[in-house]
Structure 1
Amino acid sequence: MPTILIVDDEAIFRKGLRKIVESSSGSWQVVGEARDGYEALEMVESLQPDVLLTDIRMPRMDGLQLIQITKKRFPNLLVIVLSGFDEFTYLQQSLRHGVRDYLMKPVEREELFKTLDRLESELAKVQTTTEVYAAEPADARMIRQHVSEHLVAGLLKGYVNEGDLALLARIGLTFTEPNFACMLIKLDKDALDQERYDKADPSLFQLYIQQIVQELLDQRAKGFSFILSETEVVALVNVASQHEAGNPLFELSETIRRRMISLSRLTVTIGLGRTVSGIKEIPRSFQEAKIAQLHRLIVGGDRVISYERMNEGNEELAWNSTREHALEQLESSIHEGKPEQTIQHVVTFITSLCLQAKSPEIIHQQICKLLIHGYEEAEKLGLTKSWLGERTIQAVLLEICSLNSRAELIECCRSYLGRLSECIAYGQRHSDHDPIEKVIRFVNQHYQEPLSLKHVAEHVFLNPAYLSTLFKQRTGTSLVEYWTDLRVSDAKKRLVTSNEKVTVIAESTGFGNIRHFNRVFKSVTGFAPNDYREQARSLKV
């Protein structure tokens, strides 16, 4: 006996549909009625009906959202859509998700009977050869999904090796392209109607976001998405090209953002890390996606924030030489681990900032940017826990944005930035025995100056050839490649966010001459510097 589940937010329609179905000439059994998509999702899980008969317009989770999720989990479930809105967009979206029929309200009895008779015949044929639901046990699918999520989460943190990739391939998840990029997608909860959010299970919002992301990945790219936490969905995208100007991943992220709005009236913010080469570099892209996501507090939500482009269009404050010098001194004292100087420079910088900024929002933006840069440095050095303790950087930024007194801002920043400088100083004292840590710290501080392997090796009292081998073993990249990447990244930011001449940028980022800069920049990005600047600026959103 074929079974059917009826979903409609109006009781009178549910009861009427039940009577029509039960009066048909077939042997249909109505196994349940649901008031909205959330109830229906639970019933589909427990009752496993053969057919889902659902309305489109419903509160909380509508019919289209329900169809997307259930068809992903139960691909053999047959769906009939009902709608009182004769709109082509609903028909188009329904058919895209494999809906078998689309009926207009009020439902005509004979039309529904024809649809049920046809589906009953289809079910009878299918049941002679296989079960209606999955061709493999549900627990096997679940195990495969969990293993995939666990291994991909390991990729993000740098715990997975080539053998684990082989295991992923065995369970159907392959990464055939050489490059990767990470997206971090978060629901804009503050933009969501509170009643709508409170009535729902928060995990269902994340599940819905993940399904939309995976659907678009399947259509337009190669990748895997999963729910990382109660508030985050992550996507690992496998791409062929590492060129970033005109990055199609930004367009894919924009499509995800727009699709969320059009299908469900939900808005999301997407942090996009840079494209990296090889699985060992995946954690870097993931960390960059997290940093980009933090910039939501500066630029607002409902947008894609690319790590590569996150400072574009955010230069509302005209930097004079005095304040720029104060900022440079402050950042230098932090990075060099000099807490007393840091505390002094905080006062100078914030005082100058408050005197010349045009609005409180700009003051908060600049301080948040400074703290995010500090957080990025702490993450690289593994000092975030010792710096912030149990607090998150998000909580720190929200605290900053709640302050409207110059004295409070100075005191708060003295506390946080002074503590960060102390942690860096402590880390330096206790990592001096590690030559690679010393080399990384030295290069990070001096990459804008002329460097040579011999020069760096002398700094840590090692033979240049031995240092080169040791650095490659520890980091997976050569020392020259490491400082070249720093220089090119700095150059790309300055090309997009400033009007400096290319020759000035080349000299100030450590390249010996313009010809060398042009050759290296194009080999890394695929674009000449001026072409990169032009294309990146033309894509500003």
Structure 2
Amino acid sequence: MPNILIVDDEAIFRKGLRKIIESSSGSWEVAGEAKDGYEALEMVESLKPDVLLTDIRMPRMDGLQLIQIAKERFPKLLVIVLSGFDEFTYLQQSLRHGVRDYLMKPVEREELFRTLGKLETELARSRQQVTELYTSEPADARIIRQHVSEHLVAGLLKGYVNETDLALLARIGVTFQEPCFACMIIKLDKDLLDKERYEKADPSLFQLYIQQIVQELLDQRAKGFSFILSETEVVALVNLPGQPGTGEPLLALSETIRKRMISLSRLTVTIGLGRTVGGIKEIPQSFQEAKIAQLHRLIVGGDRVISYSRMKEGEEEMAWSSLLELPLELLESSIQEGKPERTRQYAASFVTALCSQARSPEVIHQQICKLLIHGYEEAEKLELTQSWLGDRTIQAVLLEICSLTSRTELIECCCAYLEKLAACISNGQKNFDQDPIEKVIRYVNQHYHEPLSLTQVAEKVYLNPAYLSTLFKQRTGSSLVEYWTELRVSEAKRRLVSSNEKVTMIAESTGFGNIRHFNRVFKNVTGFAPIDYREQARSVKV
């Protein structure tokens, strides 16, 4: 017998709904009643209802917060939304993919009966499928089906998923058959939305709506998953054919998502795109790049698709130091070397020169934001963001910068952030130095483009080369030679695709001794000769 949990802050309304449901011609049982989201969440945990019938406006935890948390924990839970507010009638049809119906108060008996009838049929069909599954699958597969959820896919973005988790996903039919992946982050442009419309609404419904549109287009045009990662972010992980770093296959899809949002609901979104990467282990890199791309919304504005790869290419083409005579290289070097006092000195010179030479306040804010985003990217790589910013987000820092109009305040604020970043890097280097493997990784990351030998690197940490080789493989799973070869090949692939440099120049500048050695190693790693890789990458249609 299907059962339902009623959630409403008005006792008389809960009892009225119970009476209506129990009088229906179906076989529904009211599992319980809750007066707010907190109480309902506990009852969902203990009673495991088939359907959640919830009001939107409630004290403590509202209905939409309840739905988001409950659906994360119990993806199969069916939900009916009740509301006396009619701001979201235009969302009704779209939300029925996730929220099964959206009923207005006072609820009409026949309308509620029709909804319950549909859900009863759906539950019966689902249970029949489960019964057939249970009779045909071994017990461990049934357990897998009950426990694997989108949390595993979200874990891929942060590098938390291992081979065992992937095997679990495969057992329920979630497989990654294509070799490449790319991430996109879709955010609602709240500041471009009518203020009254946003304030009267429940923000979670916007996220639900965006996620439904994204998934619908993914199902039509690509292979991937979309889900609400936070109160402000919808994330899509897309599985793609081709080669890492080849073209930008998600640009067209992203533009379609952006335009569809406008045409269907008059909502605008900004989409950050990470680069196409190869293999499960590199998914966090694309995710991080999508986050960096999203940060550039503060610089270029919203209602657009921001591609990390195009953003980087644009920065390389427009060298700041050639546009304005600023001590930028010295400043960036002092930060990376972890020298706080020198960083403060160069930061003050940089902002002073920028304010003197820039054509408008917007240019000043843009250039400082770019610099801070570069710093944030470096801090993320070194896992120093928490030490640098504490509880603040980089978005809050950028907004603070953009709100300053006094040159003195701007200089002091910029100096303070960059000086602290340099100090964090300095402290981080000291911690790295205490661990020989961390020190080796840092050294190789900085010098992989130079001629390297195992003996040379071992001398940096005062270890026997053979012992270092064994210790490195135990800690990282790959040999030291394999590690720096992967760095060199990755850089070579990037430059083959994004530049017109001669292959011999790329070979020399990425640490390979000669073109013959480069060709052999590159083909062993990628399956392509360098020239063939470049040609195939550039032939991919965007």
Code of the aligned partner of 2:201: A
CA distance in 2, matches of 1:350, 1:492: 35
Give, in angstroms, the shift of residue 438 of structure 1: 0.9
Give, in angstroms, the shift of residue 400 of structure 1: 1.4
Code of the aligned partner of 1:67: Q
Q: Is the 8 A contact 1:316 1:362 kept in 2?
A: no
In structure 2, do the counterparts of structure 1 residues 255 and 453 end up closer, same or farther at CA, with 3 Å as the change threshold? farther
Other structure's SS at 2:185 match: strand
**Counterpart in the other structure of 2:186:** 185
**Counterpart in the other structure of 1:69:** 95
**Counterpart in the other structure of 1:136:** 126
Superposed counterparts of 1:329-478, under 5 Å: 329-475=330-476
Are positions 1:327 and 2:354 aligned together? no
Give, in angstroms, the shift of residue 248 of structure 1: 1.4
In structure 2, do the counterparts of structure 1 residues 230 and 145 end up closer, same or farther at CA, with 3 Å as the change threshold? farther
Q: Is the 8 A contact 1:280 1:476 kept in 2?
A: no
Give, in angstroms, the shift of residue 398 of structure 1: 1.1
CA distance in 1, matches of 2:124, 2:195: 37
CA distance in 2, matches of 1:257, 1:145: 34
Superposed counterparts of 1:259-270, under 5 Å: 259-270=260-271
The alignment-based identity, stated in percent, is 71
Greater shift after overlay, 430-439 or 197-206?
Answer: 430-439
**Counterpart in the other structure of 2:153:** 152
**Counterpart in the other structure of 1:51:** none
Other structure's SS at 2:225 match: strand
Q: Is the 8 A contact 2:245 2:494 kept in 1?
A: no
Q: Is the 8 A contact 2:272 2:305 kept in 1?
A: yes
Code of the aligned partner of 2:412: E
Superposed counterparts of 1:440-519, under 5 Å: 440-475=441-476, 479-480=480-481, 482-483=483-484, 486=487, 508-510=509-511, 512=513
Give, in angstroms, the shift of residue 72 of structure 1: 4.7
**1:5-24 Cα distance to aligned partner (Å, 9 max, x none):** xxxxxxxxxxxxxxxxxxxx
Are positions 1:271 and 2:272 aligned together? yes
Give, in angstroms, the shift of residue 204 of structure 1: 0.6
**1:358-378 Cα distance to aligned partner (Å, 9 max, x none):** 333222222212211211121
CA distance in 1, matches of 2:488, 2:297: 26
**1:202-246 Cα distance to aligned partner (Å, 9 max, x none):** 001111111111112222222221111110011222233333232
Code of the aligned partner of 2:294: Q
Code of the aligned partner of 2:300: V
**Counterpart in the other structure of 1:196:** 197
CA distance in 2, matches of 1:226, 1:409: 38
Give, in angstroms, the shift of residue 337 of structure 1: 1.2
Give, in angstroms, the shift of residue 396 of structure 1: 0.8
Give, in angstroms, the shift of residue 357 of structure 1: 2.9
Structure 1: any 5+ residue segments left out of the alignment?
Answer: 1-26, 28-37, 49-57, 78-119
Q: Is the 8 A contact 1:242 1:525 kept in 2?
A: no
CA distance in 2, matches of 1:494, 1:329: 25
Code of the aligned partner of 1:368: C
CA distance in 2, matches of 1:315, 1:360: 23
Give, in angstroms, the shift of residue 319 of structure 1: 4.0
Superposed counterparts of 1:19-38, under 5 Å: none
Superposed counterparts of 1:69-88, under 5 Å: 69-72=95-98, 74=100
Other structure's SS at 1:308 match: helix
In structure 2, do the counterparts of structure 1 residues 530 and 71 end up closer, same or farther at CA, with 3 Å as the change threshold? closer
Give, in angstroms, the shift of residue 473 of structure 1: 4.6
**1:430-461 Cα distance to aligned partner (Å, 9 max, x none):** 22121221122223333343334443233223
In structure 2, do the counterparts of structure 1 residues 278 and 530 end up closer, same or farther at CA, with 3 Å as the change threshold? closer
**1:482-515 Cα distance to aligned partner (Å, 9 max, x none):** 5455556666777888887777666555455667
Give, in angstroms, the shift of residue 168 of structure 1: 2.5
In structure 2, do the counterparts of structure 1 residues 477 and 182 end up closer, same or farther at CA, with 3 Å as the change threshold? farther
Code of the aligned partner of 1:61: F
Q: Is the 8 A contact 2:243 2:537 kept in 1?
A: no
Give, in angstroms, the shift of residue 405 of structure 1: 3.2
**Counterpart in the other structure of 2:36:** none
Q: Is the 8 A contact 2:376 2:385 kept in 1?
A: yes
Q: Is the 8 A contact 2:324 2:357 kept in 1?
A: no
Q: Is the 8 A contact 2:387 2:424 kept in 1?
A: yes
CA distance in 1, matches of 2:325, 2:459: 32
In structure 2, do the counterparts of structure 1 residues 73 and 398 end up closer, same or farther at CA, with 3 Å as the change threshold? closer
Code of the aligned partner of 1:413: C
In structure 2, do the counterparts of structure 1 residues 252 and 433 end up closer, same or farther at CA, with 3 Å as the change threshold? same
Other structure's SS at 2:121 match: coil
Code of the aligned partner of 2:428: G
Other structure's SS at 2:450 match: coil
CA distance in 2, matches of 1:377, 1:443: 16
CA distance in 2, matches of 1:380, 1:193: 37
In structure 2, do the counterparts of structure 1 residues 71 and 377 end up closer, same or farther at CA, with 3 Å as the change threshold? closer
Code of the aligned partner of 2:94: Q
CA distance in 2, matches of 1:493, 1:363: 30
Give, in angstroms, the shift of residue 165 of structure 1: 2.0
**Counterpart in the other structure of 2:304:** 303
Q: Is the 8 A contact 1:226 1:235 kept in 2?
A: yes
**Counterpart in the other structure of 2:6:** none
CA distance in 1, matches of 2:289, 2:527: 18
CA distance in 2, matches of 1:363, 1:517: 43
